[in-house]
Structures are given as structure tokens and as C-alpha cells.
Structure 1
Amino acid sequence: MSDQGDPLARIADALERLIPPAPPATDWLSAPAYVWDGTARGVGRIVAPALSLLRGIDPQKELVTGNVARLAAGHAAHDMLLWGARGMGKSALLRASVVAADAADPGAIALVQVAPDALPTLAGLFSTLGQLNRRFLVFIDDLGFEDSDGAGPRALRSWLEGGVEARPGNVRLAVTSNRRAIVARHLSEQDDPINPRDAVDDRLALADRFGLSIGFHNCSQDDYLAIIAGYCAELELPLDEHHALEWAKRRGQRSGRVAWHYITELAGRAGKAL
């Protein structure tokens, strides 16, 4: 009978083969973007429209692109809250601004999109990013907190400003939200018989931490048609303003997102890929 070796060693070898290998360490200096859900995953390309195609939001575009460019250059830059109407290009503008800044200075900046349920892990992310010679825009899309969630807004306020685990100097936060104050507001906030401002001020304190708070509003008919005209010219699609307005009427809304859905319809009918 041949010697099978140490039984404990053979068991240990078998267990090691069952355990999946540890994921490779994240290379935070190579990719233009990352997704963070407690661990990082590099993204090889940021999908975003050209800045020239984002129409009807020129003042917002100037503020966001300028701030992202300053961050990429290592200059003083703000944390940003982009709030307001659905479908008006808040997240698209952030992505496009990072693409433009990266094109101007390749590798200087990266976008890190954080899943909303990964907020408790932000301190660990900041600790890692703060050690790197690169600038990062940490992006939380469509953020909102339940009425019962008091810890989330307080933690985010601390990370933005004043806490011992505040985001490092090479990192800025960008948040999109349908609500100007991010958290829900209620008329009952005024019912405090002692100091009715206390409840309101506590809820507004989170939005006040952002150096730039930029509102996005439902676009006018002219802006909606201008967005569609820009896409049609870029993609060589026929423009029928009456049909475009009917599309918006059926959707019950005029916005950049509705305009893009209409363009998708036109491209499909023309047999083109987007």
C-alpha cells in the first residue's frame, strides 16, 4: 500500500481547491470608471452622450463641466447635488463631463459610481482613494432616504464635511436626486410646538453640505424640439416636429429622456443602430 501522505495536509489541499481564489486587487489608475458595491469593478468605457447633444441645460452644463475640469486638474472643486425633474440629463451630464475631462487630460480623473445600498462602505472606499495620485468623482445616482433612515443622511453629511472620515482632498461627491433636499419633506415638520425650525433645519443640513446645488427643470417645447433636432442632425435622421410633439404628449412629459426614446424609435424605423 503506497503512502498517501499526511491526511490533514490532503484535507487542507482539498479545501483550498474548493475555495475560489481571491479577486485580483483593483487597479485604480487604469480604468476611466469603476462601480463600487462594497468591492470595486473597473469599467473600460463611460457611456455618455456628447456634451454638445445635451441641450436645454446650458447653465447647468457650464457649472458641472467647469467643476469637473477643476477637479481633474487638481484645483479646488465642489461636491455637487444635481436635483430636479426626471429625465433632464442629470446623470448623463455628470458622465459626459468626466469623459470630457479625461479626454483633455487622460487618466487624471475617474468616475466611481456607488450603489445606494453600499453607502455604509463609503468610509473604506475613501480610505483607499485618498492614498492614490489620481482624482475621483464619486457618483451616487438617484439618492433618496426613507423617513425612518436617520443614520444615512447623518453619515453622508459627515463624509461631505466635518467628520473624521470625511472624503479626502482628491475625491469629490456628486449626487443626483429628484428632491432638492434629498430627504422627504412634510407639512408636519412645522408642528413642533417648541422650535418648528429644528426639524426643517436638520433635514436641510444635508443639501447644504454641497458646494454646488444645481436644479434641473422640465424643458419647454422649444428645448424639447432642440434636443431632438440635435440628435437627428448627429445621427442623420429625419425630423418631424409634429410627430415628436405627439410622442411627448403620449408620454405625458417633455424631457431629454423622452427625446432620446423618440430618437430610438426613429433609428429603429430607419434600420439604424445606436
Structure 2
Amino acid sequence: MDSTKLNHLVSRAEDLLSRLESILPPAPASIDWSAPAFRWEPRRSGGFLRAIPRPHRIRLSELHNIERQKTLLDRNTRQFLAGLPANNALLWGSRGTGKSSLVKALLTEYSERGLRVIEVDKQHLVELPVIIDLLEKRPERFILFCDDLSFEADDPSYKTLKAILDGSLSAAPDNVLIYATSNRRHLLPEYMADNEQTRIYEGEIHHGEAVEEKISLSERFGLWVSFYPFDQDAYLDIVFGWLERLGVETQQAGAEIRAEALRFALARGSRSGRVAWQFARDWAGRTALTGAE
């Protein structure tokens, strides 16, 4: 493609972005710091924090079969709130096992103690230094939350995250931590070819550059919290836990609920906590509808 055509495409893209921004909701005149949660909204003229006054409320006690994970992240968060040393955390593992829900539950548990969560999409990580500058002198304690985080092999944006986590000359402020969730342990795709450069010297494994690059990002999170698939009993326990939260009486229809919940999971190909929540909503809704008709 010649430079004239390229410049024309760039010009059209910029014009389209300008028109899109003109119809987006305007930035607030000031930040409502009393809100428990925020979302970073990018703008070409400068991003801003949009308050989320009613975030999704989940209690820690409502999350079942992830007791070890709850204990680890809750302790780290309490250290952070107490002004003690605490680690950035990577929550990785199987989909639908409670990674995002655990972060939401911590916000519910500790928002009155000054905890705030800021949701930052992966494509906006390059703006992390700008966000941190806004937070550095605030009295609240902020978790920058990157949900479902992963990078492709040729994605350069992860370098910004690496620098913020550990590697920049500027130290991160004491009132900011990063919690990220991912299905990938190392956040980047792993290929068999990457291991071809691995060598053994005097019995010690030395990874090739490709593997070292992948590991270097995830190891900058001081706390790794791993999540695993639920077995059938754990899945059913989660189902009944959500039904209890929704106010559904389960004693008389227990056997029917179990059978229906297993069929629901089989159709979805997963016994995850997310599928358990979806089944519980479906069951609660249809039984209530039947009773009302």
C-alpha cells in the first residue's frame, strides 16, 4: 500500500473516531470519589474515571468451593487496606470458577473501609500511568482490575503492564494494586516451538528467550491464585447455594433440582460456577412464573 492510500485511510479512521466520540456520553465535570467502583473510559482528548454507583454485589460467603482462593486473596487485600506490604495478584485457571466474582466480593466486603475497584480493559493498559497519577494522592485504596486478561504473541501492550508491575524507574504508589484474571497462567499463548530453545546445562533447565518472555510477565505478579474445574458434587453445592440466595425453597424438590442442574450443565458442556448461577436463575424464574400463573 502506497503512502497516499495509507494517509487517506488514517484520515478516515480519525474522522470516524471523532464522530463516534461526539455521540458518547460526556465526561463528568469531576470524579465522584464516593463511588465504590469506577471504569476507565478512554477519550482521544484524555480519558476519565466514570463512577459505577451500583456495582454487582456478591458476598464472600456466597462463593462456594474456593475457600483456599478466598483465604489467599482476602488476606492480601486486608494487608493492603491496613497499609501493610501486599502483592499484585494474578487469578488464573478454568473459566467460570469464580475469579471475577471473588474480586467483586472483596469490593462488597471492604468498600466501607476505603477499598475501591477500577475496571480497566486490556486495550487501555497503555494508559495505566495516567490512571495511577490520578490516584496517587487519594486516601482510598485502589485495585486496578483487569478481567479476562490475555495477550497475543505480537501484542506489545503487555510491556506497559510489565513496567507498572515491576520494572519501571517510577515506583507504584502504596495505595494501588493490580488484580488480573486470566484463563492463561502466563497470559500469553504457549507453543511447542517455544520449548525448542530450552537447553539443559549441568542438570539445570534454561528456557529459551520466547519462554522467558512469557514467564517474565506473569512472574511479576507477587501472588498467584489458581482455580480448577469443579466436580459434580461441587457444582451441585454451588447450585443450591445460589438458589438459597435467590430465596428458592429446595427441600421438597431437591432430587428434581439435582437432575435438572446436571442436564443443564451437560447441555452447556461445563460444570462451572457460572453455569450453576445461570441454572439457578433459570430455575428460580420459571418456578416462580409457574406459581404465579
Question: TM-score when scaled to structure 1?
Answer: 0.85
Contact 1:37–1:115 (CA under 8 A) maintained in structure 2: no
Q: State the partner residue of 1:133.
A: 139
The aligned counterpart of 1:168 is 173
SS of the residue corresponding to residue 157 of structure 2 reads helix
1:68 aligns with 2:77: yes
Separation of aligned partners in 1, 2:26 and 2:175: 32
Q: 1:110 aligns with which of 116, 123, 133?
A: 116
Query: Which of 192, 200, 219 is residue 197 of structure 2 equivalent to?
Result: 192
Out of 35, 52, 57, the residue aligned to residue 48 of structure 1 is: 57
Deviates more, 1:210-219 or 1:160-169: 160-169
Is residue 122 from structure 1 mapped to residue 133 from structure 2 by the alignment? Answer: no
Q: Does the 8 Å contact 2:196/2:208 carry over to 1?
A: no
The list of structure 1 runs, each at least 4 consecutive aligned residues, that deviate by more than 6 angstroms after superposition, is none
Distance 1:165 1:252 in 2: 46
> Equivalent residue for 1:249?
266
How much does 1:241 deviate?
A: 1.1
Amino acid at match of 2:151: F
The one-letter code matched in structure 1 to 2:219 is D
Q: 1:22 to 1:146 in 2, by over 3 A?
A: closer
* TM-score with structure 2 setting the length: 0.80
User: Amino acid of the residue matched to residue 42 of structure 1?
Assistant: A
Deviation (angstroms), 1:203 = 0.9
C-alpha distance in 1 between matches for 2:232 and 2:74: 25
Amino acid aligned to 2:243? C
Provide structure 2 residue ranges, at least 5 long, that are not aligned to the other structure.
1-21, 43-47, 200-205
C-alpha RMSD of matched pairs (Å): 2.1
Alignment deviations for residues 168-224 of structure 1 (CA, whole Å, 9 cap, x no partner)? 211000000010001111111123388752221111011100111111111011110
For 2:27 and 2:171, how far apart are their aligned partners in 1? 29
Give yes or no for contact 1:143–1:177 (8 Å, CA) kept in 2: yes
User: Distance in 1 between the 2:163 and 2:26 partners?
Assistant: 36
Cα distance in 2, alignment partners of residues 196 and 185 from structure 1: 13
Aligned residues between the structures: 249
Distance 1:30 1:259, change over 3 A: same
Kept after mapping to 2: 8 A contact 1:224/1:259: yes
Q: CA deviation at 1:49?
A: 2.1
Partner of 2:36: 32
Deviation at 1:166, TM superposition (A): 4.6
Question: How far, CA to CA, are the matches of 2:36 and 2:207 in structure 1?
Answer: 46
Q: Secondary structure at the match of 1:270?
A: helix
Matched, 1:147 2:140: no
Residues 83 and 214 in structure 1, CA contact (< 8 A), matched pair in contact too: yes
CA distance in 1, matches of 2:27, 2:97: 41
Distance 1:142 1:44 in 2: 23
Superposition deviation, residue 158 in structure 1 = 0.9
Matched residue of 1:133: which SS? Answer: coil
How much identity, in percent, do the aligned residues show? 36
